[in-house]
Amino acid sequence: MIPVKASIRREVLSRRDSIASALRSGKDEAIRKSLYFLSAYQSARFILLYASFRSEVDTFEMIRHCLTQGKRVALPRVDSAKGELFLYEIRGMDDLAAGCWGIREPIPSPERERGVQEMDLIIVPGVAFDEQCNRLGYGKGYYDKLLREKRAKAVALAYEEQIVASLPAETHDIKMDAIITDQRTIVNCGH
């Protein structure tokens, strides 16, 4: 199973990396608009987002938008020793600093640590997705562990180039409730 996943990861990351920057900004805007239109987003008071990295869908404008809309925002911080994500509420972009793998993460602060059960909406990154809402991450399993405890909808953001015909899904893999791309929103996903 691992060689298949590794091969899909390589192929999809290559496709995602090769999206021209002029095209990428339009795609990012389309994804943002679709997210803001989602009723789960509109009703959410507390949202878990992530700081985009490399060629991922840009989330920084979304983070700023949520904060200006009066929504509470948390971001994950990687604890690689424990193999877990810890969530911290942020008040602004100044609460972020370069962390694991150079990804911007919240500066840890015990009074701002939050649980995934507190979230009204969870925005999830990933490498590849299929129309059955399966997700292929980066291979560490951090989000699968985190999402086992969720009570809110998990929505993935992806470019259409990241959608594949089918992904190998294992029992520990958590399906998304929706996937927003620059061309469509895949919902319900058969579960």
Flag whether 154 is marked binding. no
Flag whether 56 is marked binding. yes
Going by their DSSP bridges, the two strands 178-180 and 185-187 should be labelled as: antiparallel
Going by their DSSP bridges, the two strands 128-129 and 72-79 should be labelled as: unpaired
Flag whether 92 is marked binding. no
Flag whether 36 is marked binding. no
Flag whether 141 is marked binding. yes
| Long-range pairs of 82-91 with CB within 8 A, sequence gap ≥ 24 | 83/140, 83/141, 83/142, 83/145, 84/142, 84/145, 84/146, 85/142, 85/143, 85/145, 85/146, 86/113, 87/48, 87/113, 87/114, 87/115, 87/116, 87/119, 88/112, 88/113, 88/114, 89/114, 90/63, 91/67
Flag whether 6 is marked binding. yes
Q: Are 60 and 51 in contact (CB under 8 A)?
A: yes
Flag whether 148 is marked binding. no
Flag whether 137 is marked binding. yes
Cβ contacts of 88 within 8 Å, gap of 6 or more: 74, 75, 77, 95, 106, 107, 108, 109, 112, 113, 114
Flag whether 136 is marked binding. yes
Flag whether 55 is marked binding. no
Flag whether 143 is marked binding. yes
Query: Could you tell me which residues are annotated as the binding site?
Result: 5-9, 56, 135-143
Residue ranges of the annotated binding site for ATP are 5-9, 135-143
Residue ranges of the binding site for substrate:
56
